[in-house]
Amino acid sequence: MIKKHVLGLSARLLFFIIPVISGSLIISGSITGLYADRGVKKVMVRLIEYKAEDLIRHSSSQWNLLLENNLQNDPAYMESFENSIRSYSLTMLQEEGEWILAVDEDNSIVFSVGSSASDDSILESAGENAPGETGDIWIDGNFGGESRLGYGFFLPALGWTVYITELRQTFYADLYFIRWNYIIMVLLTAIISSFFIYYYIHRSLSPLKTVISDMQNIVQNRNFGKRVIPVQNDEVGELAREFNLMSDYLDRAMTRLKNIARSEIEMRIEIRNRERETLEVLSKVSDHKDPETARHTSRVGMYASLLSELRGDSTEESDLMRWSVPLHDIGKVGIPDAILLKNGALNKTERLTMEKHVIIGNEVLKDSASPILRAGADIAISHHERWDGSGYPGGLKGRDIPVRGRITGIVDVFDALTTARPYKEAWSLKRAVEYIRERSGTEFDPELVELLFANLERVEAILIEYGDE
């Protein structure tokens, strides 16, 4: 059972390979992207933590300096200490969206650098995210009315809580950039690789398509002598060579069959020609002692064949009549010369002996393997029967008389009348037609008589061409 595909081989390969490639690109990209994501995030987090550590380190060193010099209660030094933390924070700002904020123990803003958020929302966010004295916190969410990430820690020297934050958008900017680049890269790779795959499949399949089209031409035109040219030395080439071997075999087999058929036909023609030659010899034998001429037997064959054709019989039947009707009087070879060649009327005994020629003819021919000879046997025994039942040997009536015999009865008499005999002149066509018409319905089958005379010009043509000299 051959499975029929709607899509061609190239389309099927393409529909298989492209999803596989795109799928692997997406899977490998997603894994790489996930690690890149984590890596970038880790670096960014570390950067914010580093800034926090830096600020803590800076404030500790400043504070330790004040403690060493016992200046921790001097308002002027304390103010400059606070100012140094603010300005140090300012130097830490690198990008837009960064925001460093400090609130005191009463949750009032001490300083705020890098952002323009309103005081209310700042205080609210600071209050919500207060790490207290216990430890540092990581901020991730709404802060100052914006989506931010950051770090919050407590400075014990001043009792401040400091928040180092960055806009989520800025924080993840690199990651978003990497992600978009990756999506574009996957799409481009899929498009470009599809193009190359399509081109490659098309190139790879084109010799196969050529071979298939050559094969179709050979099969459709039955031209098995033609060859498929193996373009490549691969599986396609192998297919072409195998097809050529098969085609070659078919070509030889067909030639052999044609030769056999031709010699068969020649043999049949040869056999048929020999059979006809034999039949002519037989007719000549039957004519040998008969006062009728040799041409008589041949002509009655032609008239009978014409009448059979006019009846609408098959070509085989009318051809059969052409060769079997000449044998109608072959039984006369068994009639003594004294009766056969007697001049003048026969007496009753002689006439009965003479009538035996129909039986003898039938006996001689009836067991033949040849259809022509067997038809000759039918004709021999029935050609002297008469339409009204007054004929011999059976006294058959009307359609009980075989049609071959009825045809022969008419044309035998017609030919005897229209040609000269030792005892009479040749009658005119008109007179012969009248004679037969008078006996139509008594001696002859009326339908056959009318059919024959309705085509008198064809009858006459035979008479003219094959008449006696």
Residue closer to Fe ion (CB basis): 146 or 290: 290
Smallest separation (angstroms) from Fe ion to the CB of 359: 11
Smallest separation (angstroms) from Fe ion to the CB of 325: 9
Cross-strand bridge partners of residue 138: 151
Smallest separation (angstroms) from Fe ion to the CB of 361: 8
Smallest separation (angstroms) from Fe ion to the CB of 412: 4
Binding of Fe ion at residue 445 (CB under 5 A)? no
Positions 276 through 335 that interact with Fe ion (CB under 5 A): 329
* Closest to 137 in 3D by CA, of 39, 40, 49, 43: 49
**Category of 144 on φ-ψ map: left (φ > 0), alpha (ψ -120 to 50) or beta:** left
Q: How far apart are CA 53 and CA 153, in angstroms?
A: 10
How many C-beta atoms surround the C-beta of residue 157 within 10 A?
18
Treating both helix axes as pointing N-terminal to C-terminal, what angle do 371-382 and 315-324 enclose, rounded to 10 degrees?
70
Residue closer to Fe ion (CB basis): 33 or 394: 394
Both tokens of residue 326? Answer: 């000449």
Smallest separation (angstroms) from Fe ion to the CB of 219: 60
Residue closer to Fe ion (CB basis): 145 or 394: 394
Smallest separation (angstroms) from Fe ion to the CB of 392: 10
Where helices occur in 69-172 by DSSP H, the ranges are 75-92, 119-128, 168-171
With CB under 5 A as the rule, give the number of residues binding Fe ion: 2
Contacts for 413 with CB less than 8 Å, ≥ 6 apart? 436, 443, 444
Residue closer to Fe ion (CB basis): 313 or 412: 412
As separate numbers, helices (DSSP H) first and strands (DSSP E) second, the chain gives 16, 5
Residue closer to Fe ion (CB basis): 167 or 358: 358
Residue closer to Fe ion (CB basis): 381 or 403: 381
Residue 146, phi then psi, degrees to nearest 5: -130, 160
Positions 362 through 421 that interact with Fe ion (CB under 5 A): 412
Residues lying near Fe ion in the complex (CB under 5 A) are found at 329, 412
